[in-house]
Structure 1
């Protein structure tokens, strides 16, 4: 296999991000996983080693511009950067309004703090990582690919105003950056899973039986009647990385369609 440049996965220390990092490493890219939790980063590195994949790790606050800039400066010093996957994010289920019958006798509205935290992590964090990755690739003159991990909720999703709006913003960044960065040989391809059947989903279901029941109802509305496996999303990221004529688009991994609201 020809020697490849590096890959970095932002927010790749657990769950889907880790699965993507393992897949990139196994496919031949020297891969760095960047996240804030050092203990989780070490667990990720050890699990990768058990799979026969060597990963590097970097402790980074994805919302601190200086931290993100330092990460990409370090990567540039090690060699060519080919791939940047932006997988840091967190879901939030909170309705815009809850009527008095559901909110203890008074109207309740979506919190502004929750809005800012969700939009900052999912949208601003992607902007910061994408900006520094694009600059690193453009300055080196070697091209590359940016892969934001979005979500099918970007088309609208009941009870997820902040999360859906943030992911829609990432889709817009994908298309805008593809237009701007093509002249530098940089592609931008978003991958949008529906619900991913991973450890986080199962753990939350074990803690909250009502949530587990809701997810089962949601699963029944997916045409394939199941959620995505982490490796299926990781395989789609590899396709986005290796297909040299993909840019400015969103590849959905949704089993035939993600319902905006279950009946």
Structure 2
């Protein structure tokens, strides 16, 4: 896919990875539909992207709200006249141990709400946005690509029962949709990063950050521009579908 004049929607686009990937794709001439829950940050992002000479519009959508997602993607298709791509970047973390035990007694448990809230955004939100994006791609006759953001944690990580489960599901859905949607000219891809140098990573305690870096053979965090480059590869390589790119500096958890 040549990204010039293609329309790409990105969830979680107000900041962090989503915002960085919007910059990367806009630099290739793609028009961007920014999706998030932060109207002020979205508006600022849209203004900055337009300065690159592309069309950029923003849409305040809760990705866990089925009705809002349906209406939002219909609005995107009506606004741009087509839809060629989706990056499911919206996601949350609510880390915690399954159980906390002291002196042989269970003193705390991961709550159902703590578990379910992560699945609601990371799994259900990804599902709803992909479903509606695919529907609009088909109905507007647009060849398209759906990219999901997984994580190295999909293999299972201590203290992340909810997050690991959600990111494993995201990678699996990528394979399923590749098989289902190829007949309509829609490809899928997945990126599984390790820790990325974002505002969230900057909030880590220095000792925890240093400990994590000891597990990374390249001894550094991923740069957001490197995720943008990976997304660009998936869009531009027309024989890539249903697979996950591990962008973790060699990390294994």
Shared fold (TM-score greater than 0.5)? yes
Please say if 1:99 is aligned against 2:101. Answer: yes
Matched, 1:234 2:236: no
1:7–1:82 Cα contact (<8 Å) kept: yes
Instruction: Return the match for 2:237 from 222, 238, 243.
Output: 243
Asked whether the equivalents of residues 100 and 108 of structure 1 are also in contact (C-alpha less than 8 Å), the reply is no
Cα distance between partner residues in 2 of 1:175 and 1:63: 22
Is 1:87 equivalent to 2:81 in the alignment?
Answer: no
Is the 2:94–2:163 contact (alpha carbons within 8 Å) kept by the matching residues of 1? yes
Query: What root-mean-square deviation, in Å, do the aligned CA atoms of Structure 1 and Structure 2 show?
Result: 1.9
Unpaired segments ≥5 residues, structure 2: none
Q: Is the 8 A contact 2:7 2:31 kept in 1?
A: yes
Q: Secondary structure at the match of 2:217?
A: coil
Tell me by how many angstroms 1:14 deviates.
0.3
User: Superposition pairs for residues 25-44 of structure 1, below 5 Å?
Assistant: 25-44=26-45
Query: CA separation in 1, counterparts of 2:3 and 2:46?
Result: 24
Q: Supply the distance in 2 between the matched residues of 1:142 and 1:49 (Cα, whole angstroms).
A: 23
Partner of 2:250: 256
- State how many pairs are aligned: 251
Q: Does residue 1:129 correspond to 2:129, yes or no? A: yes
Match of 1:99, SS state, is strand
In structure 2, relative to structure 1, the CA distance for the partners of 1:50 and 1:218 (3 Å cut) is farther
Contact in 2 for aligned 1:22/1:53 (Cα 8 Å): no
Residue 3 to residue 230, structure 1, CA distance change in 2 (3 Å):
closer
Question: Alpha-carbon deviation of 1:48?
Answer: 3.7
Shift of 1:2: 8.3
Change (3 A) 1:79 1:50: closer
Contact 1:5 1:79 in 2 (8 A): no
Cα shift at 1:53: 6.1
